[in-house]
């Protein structure tokens, strides 16, 4: 049986430096794909999660729970809330400009999240060891200071950009060529910090 990777950074993990070309403090972090269910503006029923870069290795994000996001009647689906955290935590990679994939995501549900409410997510990088990037986040109901409804932590693994480029559909490649803010991140010759 293989060992389950932890989302807690090990002793000796360091906080990676913010990349000089990371989004500026307070800037909206772009969507990597317009039709992404998590952050895409073009997905008709998606989360439309919007994230803004923080001052360090952190960000804030928000999304409004709609009727399209229900699990139990009137409440957000737990898997969909996990998706929101995967999206917010993944956007932290823009701050270190390292393409990565989710290796593990742990989500704890503290309070129900009703439709019509907003979930305010605060996320941060908690450490890095080689290609492993550790992250955590909390989600608060209806305001940045509201009650904590969801907590999450994740482990991301940095991969070469070709991992995404070789598997991207033609529509995605067309999309990124029309959006230079994405091309700045989606660069096949992108420097990967090992």
Strand partners, 182: none
Residue 193 has pLDDT above 50, yes or no: no
In this prediction the pTM is 0.85
pLDDT tens by residue, 134-172: 999 999 999 999 999 999 999 999 987 665 566 667 776
The values of phi and psi at residue 114, to 5°, are -75, 155
Helix, strand, coil shares, percent, the chain, to 5? 20, 30, 50
Domain boundaries, the chain: 50-183
Q: Does domain 50-183 have CATH number 3.30.160.270?
A: no
With beta carbons less than 8 A apart as the criterion, state whether 154 and 86 touch.
yes
Give the Cβ contact number of residue 191 at 10 Å: 9
């Amino acid at each position: 049986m293989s060992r389950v990777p932890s989302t807690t950074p090990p002793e000796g993990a360091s906080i990676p430096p913010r990349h000089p070309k990371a989004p500026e403090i307070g800037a909206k972090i772009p969507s990597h794909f317009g039709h992404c269910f998590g952050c895409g503006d073009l997905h008709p029923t998606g989360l439309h999660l919007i994230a803004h870069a923080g001052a360090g290795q952190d960000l804030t994000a928000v999304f409004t729970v709609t009727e399209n996001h229900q699990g139990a009647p009137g409440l957000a689906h737990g898997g969909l809330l996990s998706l929101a955290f995967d999206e917010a935590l993944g956007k932290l990679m823009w701050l270190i400009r390292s393409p990565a994939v989710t290796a593990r995501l742990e989500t704890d549900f503290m309070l129900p999240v009703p439709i019509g409410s907003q979930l305010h997510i605060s996320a941060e990088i908690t450490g890095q060891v080689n290609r492993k990037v550790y992250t955590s986040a909390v989600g608060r109901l209806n305001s940045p200071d509201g009650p904590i409804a969801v907590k999450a932590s994740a482990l991301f693994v940095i991969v070469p950009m070709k991992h995404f480029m070789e598997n991207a559909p033609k529509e995605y490649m067309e999309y990124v060529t029309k959006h230079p803010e994405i091309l700045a991140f989606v660069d096949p010759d992108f420097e990967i910090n090992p």
